[in-house]
Copies of this chain bind each other. A is one copy, B any other.
Amino acid sequence: MRTDAFQPAAAPLPIGQLDGLLALERIGTRMSFGRNEEIFAQGDAATYCYRVVAGTVRLCKLLADGRRHIAAFCLAGDLFAFEAVGEHFQSAEAVDEVIVIRFPRAAVERLAEQQPSVARQLRTRAFAGLAAAHEQMLLLGRMTAGERVASFLLDLAERLDRRKALDLPMSRYDIADYLGLTIETVSRVLSGLKRAGAIAMPSVHRIELLDRSALMPG
């Protein structure tokens, strides 16, 4: 991991998206992480919270016997670890080459107390995260393997703003642990979709959505 301590964050992204959070930028530290590098671990003191600048971050929870679940993939612009109190209850790892901005939690909270716009942004983001989590719970609790994978592809395409071709930054393992499946099942479903002509896979991590209606629910 490389740190440019106390450098103000570069390249302000699309302003509309950041809005009230611009105030945060000043107190952040820009950091880089390589593939599979750990940003923080489950149980670490939750001293900081983060915003993704580039790349993909996975938030993982581990069971004692090694079973893993990925609660979320965070893409550019997403905030994470803001909800921790005391210690992180999940770990964060870089899926690919990642740049984040790290904020001292205490400073964030001070800012939120002083600036209602910052508080509002944090609130809004937290609420959006909650809505997304509820959606994912529906997926995990009530959808078949095929529906989960299809839903995952469409969701990722939307978040990456891709209509047809999709570069998956994560491994089959990550996908499986995100969807509550095994890698074999993910692989089989993808092969099935390919055979059905719904998608194409020019390479393992590149997926083209040929027939979106075949991926849609119903």
Q: Report whether A83 and B130 are in contact in the complex, using a CB–CB cutoff of 8 Å.
A: yes
Q: Report whether A138 and B217 are in contact in the complex, using a CB–CB cutoff of 8 Å.
A: no
Query: Does A35 interact with chain B (Cβ within 8 Å)?
Result: no
Q: How far is the CB of A173 from chain B (nearest CB, A)?
A: 13
Tally of A interface residues using CB under 8 Å: 46
Name the one of B63, B64, B128, B140 contacting A137, with C-beta atoms under 8 angstroms: B140
Of A92-100, A115-123, A161-169, A197-205, the stretch lying at the interface with chain B is A115-123
Q: Which residues of B contact A82 (CB under 8 A)?
A: 127
Name the one of B63, B83, B140, B218 contacting A64, with C-beta atoms under 8 angstroms: B218
Smallest CB-CB separation from A179: which chain B residue? Answer: B141
Q: Which residues of B contact A134 (CB under 8 A)?
A: 59, 61, 71-72, 89-90, 133
Query: Does A113 interact with chain B (Cβ within 8 Å)?
Result: yes
Query: What residues of chain A have their CB less than 8 Å away from a CB belonging to chain B?
Result: 59, 61, 63-65, 67-69, 71-72, 82-85, 89-90, 109, 112-114, 116, 119-120, 122-123, 126-131, 133-138, 140-143, 177, 179-180, 217-218
